[in-house]
């Protein structure tokens, strides 16, 4: 049976699609809700996803009166894919989202990020706090906490070993493409603690997004750029934006201790742990995650 594209799925939901020019790239965005609503939420996906990661949150947030914007980050799916590793530094990624927020034309936004989207969101909050009303992070380490864990807990190095593998030329791309994207398909099937958190048609859409020309190399360049400029990644400062952190405690990639003592760098942080969720908490417990986000924003 043919699986409609993710973009066709968005159109079937009545969601709008457009490209936003920001920081010398065009970001493909899916938008829902009142286009002139003053309350705006921007949803940033992680690896190996794209805007579709937020499909279960978009409509409930729009129904609550919010204007919802879910972009494909640079390098992903239909967004531009600059060719060089240095095009994917934290500074460039933050510049993209700062420009996207300014493009909304409204007041400050609530920024929500998961995984790489959460890392970018942390840095937006540090570098451009004037753009944010509130911040929400889903299983993405605060840079100072991550640096601490790498220094103090060898287990985090083991969980992050894939980052070292991604530094190699061409081999990670070859492995991920092998067997009709077997590694990607298996990860989405096996990683979640909730069976079928990713349905077959969902996996097909993720594979389609990754198979686009230059998409795979571009997404791996996030990790390669990180290793070339680690000081930029770990440079942190106090965040005074009110912040909600939702953390699936069965994360295979990130120690739960990464959430310890976050108040040292984020005094207004509110921490909520989900013991029955993993790294993919917004797929596994979508209703609960959406409810928490709505409570936080309202």
142 included as an active-site residue: no
123 included as an active-site residue: no
Q: Tell me the two tokens of residue 226.
A: 């990180």
Catalytic residue among 223, 251, 282, 283: 223
Catalytic residue among 28, 123, 128, 279: 279
| 114 closest CA partner among 165, 49, 163, 176 | 49
162 included as an active-site residue: no
**Which string of DSSP letters, residue by residue, matches the chain?**
-PPPPHHHHHHHTT-EEEEEEETTEEEEEEEES-TT-S-EEEEE--TT--GGGGHHHHHHHHHTT-EEEEEPPTTSTTS---SSGGGGSHHHHHHHHHHHHHHT-SS-EEEEEETHHHHHHHHHHHH-GGGEEEEEEES---HHHHHHHHHH-HHHHHHTHHHHHTTSSSHHHHHHHHHHHHHHHHHHHHS-SSTTSS-HHHHHHHHHHHTSTTHHHHHHHHHHHHHH-HHHHH------S-EEEEEETT-SSS-GGGGTTGGGT-TTEEEEEETT--TTHHHHSHHHHHHHHHHHH-
Catalytic residue among 80, 87, 96, 115: 115
CA distance 256 to 153: 12
CA distance 268 to 78: 36
Mind telling me the catalytic residues? 115, 223, 279
């Amino acid at each position: 049976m043919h699986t409609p594209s993710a973009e066709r799925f968005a159109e079937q939901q009545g969601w709008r699609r457009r490209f936003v020019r920001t920081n010398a790239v065009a970001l493909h965005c899916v938008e829902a809700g009142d286009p002139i609503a003053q309350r705006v939420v921007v949803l940033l996906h992680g690896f190996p996803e794209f805007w579709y990661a937020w499909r279960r949150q978009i409509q409930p947030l729009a129904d609550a009166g919010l204007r919802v914007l879910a972009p494909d980050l640079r390098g992903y799916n239909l967004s531009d894919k600059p060719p060089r590793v240095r095009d994917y530094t934290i500074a460039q990624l933050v510049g993209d989202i700062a420009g996207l927020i300014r493009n909304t034309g409204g007041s400050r936004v609530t920024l929500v990020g998961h995984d790489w989207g959460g890392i970018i969101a942390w840095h937006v909050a540090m570098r451009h706090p004037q753009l944010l009303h509130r911040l929400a992070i889903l299983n993405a380490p605060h840079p100072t906490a991550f640096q601490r864990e790498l220094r103090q807990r060898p287990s985090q190095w083991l969980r992050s070993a894939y980052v070292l593998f991604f530094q190699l030329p061409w081999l990670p791309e070859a492995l991920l493409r092998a067997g009709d994207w077997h590694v990607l398909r298996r990860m989405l099937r096996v990683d979640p603690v909730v069976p079928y958190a990713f349905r077959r048609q969902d996996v097909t859409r993720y594979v389609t997004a990754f198979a686009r020309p230059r998409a795979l190399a571009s997404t791996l360049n996030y990790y390669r750029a990180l290793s070339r400029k680690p000081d930029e990644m770990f440079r942190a400062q106090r965040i005074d934006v009110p912040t909600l952190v939702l953390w699936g405690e069965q994360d295979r990639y990130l120690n739960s201790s990464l959430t310890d003592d976050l108040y040292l760098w984020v005094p207004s942080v509110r921490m909520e742990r989900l013991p029955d969720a993993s790294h993919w908490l917004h797929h596994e417990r979508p209703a609960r995650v959406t409810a928490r986000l709505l409570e936080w924003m309202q």
